[in-house]
Amino acid sequence: MPDYGLAGKVAIVTGGNTGIGAATVRALAAEGVAVGIAFYAAPEQAAALAAQVYARDGRSTMYEVDLGDPEAIAPLFDHVERSLGPVDILVNNAAHSERDDWPLLAAESLDRHYAVNTRATALAITEFARRFRGGAGGRVINLTSGQGLGPMPGELAYVASKGAIEALTTTFAAELALLGITVNAVDPGITDTGWISDEFRAELLARAPFGRIGTPEDAARLILFLASEQGSWITGQIIHSRGGF
């Protein structure tokens, strides 16, 4: 196994109690990272995940937060710093998603998607950079959805908010490099986190180049690499890790 050089680091993973977020928490904790698990709902899943980390001699803390509230970002960082120490790694995984094709598109949906997916990402990166202690080793990894690769009908507000994350990634990367912070985005493609219907699964498997659907662990492995010392020369990239889809 490679030494990722992460022992003793501290991370925040938003949306960290389920799916890709939970897989990322487990992957980071296995490498000695103390992880702040930020979540919006399902506290029992956050508690179970924290118990798993503890059972493997890891350190974590839980924090319930509505990222749609712009005043919620600083208290999240305050809590993690008090519990675990200064933050080295930020994984912006949380997302709001509701289907809205053009007849259903409304200002309220646009605003909520923007608040959670775009504004919270930008504010969290800014708060992270303000508090970063300096030197090499700062890592920001954003999650995006491949919306730049083609249309996603029925997801207008979502694709608008996620497309903005790709733009933020490249510009934040240029601005924060002198602080020793890399900024990248991961597009994991279609990932089996429990939402795929049997009918859609069959359709996907029929055209899956590797004969399977992506898992949260697939995304977590790439996030772990980008967070590691081995990822120190990669910044400003949107990496499409989609298994050939």
Q: Are strands 34-39 and 138-143 parallel, antiparallel or unpaired?
A: unpaired
Q: Are strands 181-187 and 138-143 parallel, antiparallel or unpaired?
A: parallel
**Closest alpha carbon to 29 in 52, 1, 47:** 52
Are the C-beta atoms of residues 24 and 224 closer than 8 Å to each other?
A: yes
Q: How far apart are CA 217 and CA 188, in angstroms?
A: 10
Q: Give one DSSP letter per residue of 213-227, joined into a string.
A: -B-HHHHHHHHHHHH
Give phi and psi for 13, each to the nearest 5.
Answer: -120, 115
Are the C-beta atoms of residues 112 and 96 closer than 8 Å to each other?
A: yes
Q: State the catalytic residues.
A: 158
